[in-house]
Amino acid sequence: MFKIRLDRHQRILLGFGLILVLGIIFAIFLSDVPSPESPEPFFVTINDGGIEYTLKTKQRNVSDFLSEQNIILGKGDFIIPYLEWGLVPHAHIFIQRAIPITIEINNSFQKIYTQAKTISAMLEENGISLGNKDRIEISSYPNNNEREIYPEMEIKIIRVKEEIISQIISIPFQTIYQSDPNLSYKKTEISQEGKKGEKEQILKITYENGQETKRELLKEETLKPPVARIVKKGTKIEIGKTEEGIASWYDYPYFTYELPAASRTFPRGTYLRVTNLENQKSVIVKIRDFGPDPRHHPERIIDLDIYAFKKIASSKIGIIRVRVEEIL
């Protein structure tokens, strides 16, 4: 008998050829087999956010079923069985909808979709930790980390930081006025210059979201006391020009620290001692106006402000006889 000898390489090629031929024959066979009929519809029960209902479908996996029923999953929504799982008659699908909330943290706003039921669980779910002093603010509600989450809840996280600092501050000095009978009236001399002191303060500063909100003084110690400034004020009265006549009063319209008066004889800025000749009461005034008008009251030599007049007579009198002395 005639025999054909094939080497190893030829035998391998022949094997691949036989496999290819068998594959083609099998494909032709399958093409002649009629396709099975479309699957029969079946019922699936779905629980969507607590609402349960039954739907009929021919789809064989969860993803196609949701598309067919136009059921859309939002961000953070949870579904079981998973989308890629298959479906069988009387299957149950559970959808738990995520709750949208807004959280303000580090002065920025974030929209979060959460499956958590409480604030503390939501923080843990999103990897947000609270410091010992940090607090949570919920508009119109108490700050309770175990409060239940509700849709569109607005949560604000306040980052609280406390810091202890030491500071040196200056202490202002006082000014002390002393009467000096050897110094002319209204003259002043500084007999001792003032010096500021120093004190150390220990403070606790509270920051909320990086902004200082509170300062608490814990301790204060004087390091150097201040030295008072001493000013001598002259009380020595030296008399210049003197005249006697009638004094009346008027209401000076502006506030001054010194009692004002009006004169025709003495210039503005002159200090005068006015003495009521009836009771010898005196008052010192400063000329600020010109008067009285000589066309109407030529006999009057001075108009006193009403408060100056009351120091030496009753305003009901209206006019009094006085002695006017210029203070040099």
pLDDT at 27 (0 to 100) = 39
The beta strand positions in 159-281, using DSSP E, are 160-171, 175-184, 188-192, 197-208, 211-224, 229-236, 239-250, 260-263, 271-276
321 compared with 140, residue with greater pLDDT: 321
Domains and their CATH numbers in the chain: 42-96 (3.10.20), 99-158 (3.10.20.90), 163-233 (2.20.230.10), 238-327 (2.40.40.10)
Give kind and range of the element (H or E) at residue 104. Answer: strand 99-105
Give dist(CA 271, CA 285) in Å, integer. 6
Cross-strand partners of 234: 180
pLDDT at 29 (0 to 100) = 40
Phi then psi for residue 63, to 5 deg, are -60, -45
Percent of the chain with pLDDT over 90: 75
pLDDT at 310 (0 to 100) = 95
Least confident range of 187-196, 242-251, 259-268, 291-300: 291-300
pLDDT at 186 (0 to 100) = 85
pLDDT at 5 (0 to 100) = 53
Give dist(CA 328, CA 323) in Å, integer. 16
If you search the block for the tokens 């003197």, which residue do you land on? 242
Quote the pTM value.
Answer: 0.56
Percent of the chain with pLDDT over 70: 86
Does 67 have pLDDT greater than 70?
yes
Overall average pLDDT of the 92-121 stretch: 92
Overall average pLDDT of the 114-124 stretch: 92
Residue 184 contacts by C-beta under 8 Å, 6 or more apart in sequence? Answer: 234, 236, 238, 328
Q: Within a 10 A sphere around the Cβ of 260, how many other Cβ atoms?
A: 21
pLDDT at 254 (0 to 100) = 87
Does 48 have pLDDT greater than 70?
yes
Q: Within a 10 A sphere around the Cβ of 223, how many other Cβ atoms?
A: 10
Does 118 have pLDDT greater than 70?
yes
Does 279 have pLDDT greater than 80?
yes
Give kind and range of the element (H or E) at residue 46. Answer: strand 42-48
Q: What are the pLDDT digits (tens) for 259-271?
A: 999 999 999 999 9
